[in-house]
Amino acid sequence: MPRKAVMDATVKDASTVKELKDTLWKAADKLRGSMDASQYKDVILGLVFLKYVSDAFEERRRQIRDELIADGVSEARVEGFLDDVDEYVGRGVFWVPETARWGYLAENAKGRPALEGQPPQSIGELVDGAMEHIMGSNPTLAGTLPRIFNRDNVDQRRLGELIDLFNSARFTGQGGSRARDLLGEVYEYFLEKFARAEGKRGGEFYTPASVVRVLVEVLEPTRGRVYDPCCGSGGMFVQTEKFLDAHETDRTAISVFGQELNERTWRMAKMNLAIHGLTANLASRWGDTFARDQHPDLQADFVMANPPFNIKDWARSESDPRWVYGVPPAGNANYAWMQHILAKLAPGGSAGVVMANGSMSSNSGGEGAIRAQLVEADVVSCMVALPTQLFRSTGIPVCVWFFAKDKTAGEGGSVDRTGQVLFIDARNLGHMVDRAERSLSDDDIARIAGTYHAWRGSPSAAGAVYSDEPGFCYSASLAEIKAADYALTPGRYVGAAEVADDGEPIGEKIARLMTELYAQFDESERLARVVREQLGRVS
């Protein structure tokens, strides 16, 4: 059996979503060739997007046909309605011209032969053309899709085989997922794999899903405006969408706003959100959030962000009105990000920001004074210290700052937490997925979020009553924080975990342990004498 036929059979036989994603990744990896990592990523993610928009289009096309036939419209007349662009765009489906549809590309996966008046075209030319046609037919995608499939370093034979492979994959019937939902999972999976492969560069566009879920589960963004000032590939928004689905909340209950500095990453985010059916305002182009805020008048109900840590070269202006709590130092943008986010929060808004651990206690460049102002203004609601190795791209330990403009009893919860900050030390949570990376489990995330919601008296706490837990959580007053010189490291407040009482009186335990220790000293001295004797005999 030819190699391609074997691969097709393997994809069709994949019995689980994981098997399908793994198989597609292995096949896609064969196309790498002489491409650099970033271009290879654009090629593969571009193909997944193209498959998605085509499948969504064909699904809507079948729906229109079925609806018309159910209404008694004859087959002869049905065809005339199937090309009504409004029937697609009005349902949030991109219009896909005929030569951009996946079926057409699959039919010409080895290239299109010369037609009357037209020269032959490689599959790369056809895919580039498909991207152009889709962008031309859908203004919201203008300038978004990659057109790099016909370059010299793209192996046209393997590109054609990959299109065949995607064409033969079963994107329906996999664990009950619809084709479009599964393609969204494939896109996320590929993003994660690319982030791991690219190391530190990968951290610029991808935040581990378990970290994002901590923010989403604590903040519970079920309505209003959601904003990310450094949105990467859009992971915060995707997890928000999943949270809404899990709680059976209409996705239209939120409006999504984001900004991204890197052009390629901005394009990835646009495709990622489109695949997940999220309409987002990521501005008309990429840009620097500090130098040119593209949502200047936005007041967000929720802000979630994983800004780049400890940026030394950033667009700083001492007169910037965002610096309400103090001018951030030129050599570190951490407190600039936090103040930008606070400036974006609506009066009842809340935010979660991933930061390097140093942000909790640093006093350099006036950061300590800014932190004191944040505490005294009572906008810090919760500090969470996370375990190490959650980010494959960096070994820097991280934490999450949670902000709230209003901590009184009300919409945010039934318990008034004015003048208090919740500290959670989650450094001992998580499990290693391999030698280099740790992940938080569903139970870990639920423990962190559940503790916060019990503290606030949120409806999702289901009546749970908060209490301090030594070694894990502590509710501190602003006076206590001031006494600690405004350091916000959870370990300073939660203390040590309680040790179970084994019933042995402390005096007896100390005597026993000292006896055991002296015995070990005696044994060590005896062994040292034996070693000296043996060495003397050798010499």
Question: What's the confidence (pLDDT) of residue 134?
Answer: 96
Q: Does domain 3-194 have CATH number 3.60.21.10?
A: no
Helix, strand or coil, per DSSP, at residue 506: helix
Which H or E run includes 424? Answer: strand 420-425
Question: What's the confidence (pLDDT) of residue 505?
Answer: 81
Average pLDDT of the residues in 425-442: 92
pLDDT digits (tens, 9 = 90+) for 446-474: 999 999 999 999 999 988 999 999 999 99
Higher pLDDT, 428 or 501: 428
pLDDT band at 431 (very low <50, low <70, confident <90, very high): very high
Assigned token pair, 528: 């040292």
Assigned token pair, 238: 């995707």
pLDDT digits (tens, 9 = 90+) for 326-375: 999 999 999 999 999 999 999 999 999 999 999 999 999 999 999 999 99
Average pLDDT of the residues in 403-415: 94
Most confident listed range (83-87, 244-248, 279-283, 365-369):
365-369
Question: What's the confidence (pLDDT) of residue 173?
Answer: 44
| Percent over 70 (pLDDT), the chain | 92
Which amino acid type is present at position 244?
Answer: L
Question: What's the confidence (pLDDT) of residue 178?
Answer: 63
What is the C-alpha separation between 134 and 294, in angstroms, rounded? 26
Higher pLDDT, 81 or 320: 320
Rg of the chain on CA atoms, in Å: 28
Statement: residue 231 has pLDDT above 70: yes
Question: What's the confidence (pLDDT) of residue 166?
Answer: 83
Statement: residue 533 has pLDDT above 70: yes
Most confident listed range (82-86, 415-419, 523-527):
415-419
Question: What's the confidence (pLDDT) of residue 117?
Answer: 77
- Residue 431: what are its φ and ψ, rounded to 5°? -145, 150
Q: How far is CA 7 from CA 27, 28, 69, 183, in A?
A: 8, 12, 38, 19
DSSP-assigned letter for residue 107: H
Assigned token pair, 493: 């407040």
Statement: residue 315 has pLDDT above 80: yes
Higher pLDDT, 411 or 394: 411
Average pLDDT of the residues in 69-78: 85
Assigned token pair, 230: 């450094």
Q: How many CB atoms neighbour CB 322 within 10 A?
A: 16
Statement: residue 395 has pLDDT above 80: no
Average pLDDT of the residues in 466-484: 97
pLDDT band at 203 (very low <50, low <70, confident <90, very high): low
Helix, strand or coil, per DSSP, at residue 382: strand
CATH topology of domain 207-494: Rossmann fold (3.40.50)
Q: Are 392 and 196 in contact (CB under 8 A)?
A: yes
Read off the pTM: 0.83
Please state the domain extents for the chain: 3-194, 207-494, 505-539
Average pLDDT, the chain: 88
What is the C-alpha separation between 352 and 486, in angstroms, rounded? 19
Higher pLDDT, 116 or 187: 187
pLDDT digits (tens, 9 = 90+) for 29-61: 878 877 777 788 888 899 989 998 998 899 899
User: Is there a shared CATH topology between the 3-194 domain and the 207-494 domain?
Assistant: no
Question: What's the confidence (pLDDT) of residue 201?
Answer: 61
What is the C-alpha separation between 220 and 344, in angstroms, rounded? 18
Higher pLDDT, 490 or 411: 490
